[in-house]
Copies of this chain bind each other. A is one copy, B any other.
Amino acid sequence: MNPTPRLDEQLCFALYAASRAMTARYRPLLDALGLTYPQYLAMLVLWERDGLSVGDLGERLQLDSGTLTPLLKRLEAAGLVLRTRRPSDERSVDIRLTAEGQALRTQAAAIPERLLCHTDLIPEELFRLRDELKALTARLTVSIPTQGETP
């Protein structure tokens, strides 16, 4: 009935390839800061708002503790953050930037611009694409209806 799906026609592969290509573009710039790409994203969140819990960070990045706990431990080992149990609720772990973590912010500020310079992309197009991707993510993220659900 349906034809076999072709790789080049799949939005899913276009997304997957674009995401990895983007990460590859960031890598040399992030190497200079000693950060991996997901670590950079976590730092972006912390630079916006310090002292979030692991859960807060996970909500923002859409990552769970299985991913974040080891990532944050590596950031701690690198001296960029501190992980401390929240006194008011010992279940929560506060992630706070160290002075070194704060300082990295200055260097990171140059990254988006340097990336743009290397790729001759038009900012307006990027903004539109970004917003379309956000809309797509929102639609993909709605709760999946259970097979045969009848409420």
Report the bound CA distance from A9 to B121 in whole Å.
15
* B residues less than 8 Å from A41 (CB atoms): 7, 13, 16
Residue in B closest to A105 when the chains form the complex, CB atoms: B4
* B residues less than 8 Å from A25 (CB atoms): 140, 144
Task: Verify if A23 is at the interface (C-beta below 8 Å from B).
Answer: yes
Task: Verify if A126 is at the interface (C-beta below 8 Å from B).
Answer: yes
Identical chains in the assembly: 2
* B residues less than 8 Å from A13 (CB atoms): 41, 44
Residue in B closest to A47 when the chains form the complex, CB atoms: B4
- A106 CB to nearest B CB, Å: 9
Interface size class of A (residues with CB under 8 A): 35 or more
- A37 CB to nearest B CB, Å: 8
- A4 CB to nearest B CB, Å: 5
Interface pair B16/A23, CB less than 8 Å apart: yes
* B residues less than 8 Å from A142 (CB atoms): 119
Contact of A119 among B44, B118, B140 (CB under 8 A): B140
Contact of A22 among B2, B16, B60 (CB under 8 A): B16
Name the interface residues of A41-74: CB closer than 8 Å to any CB of B: 41, 44-45, 47-48, 60-62
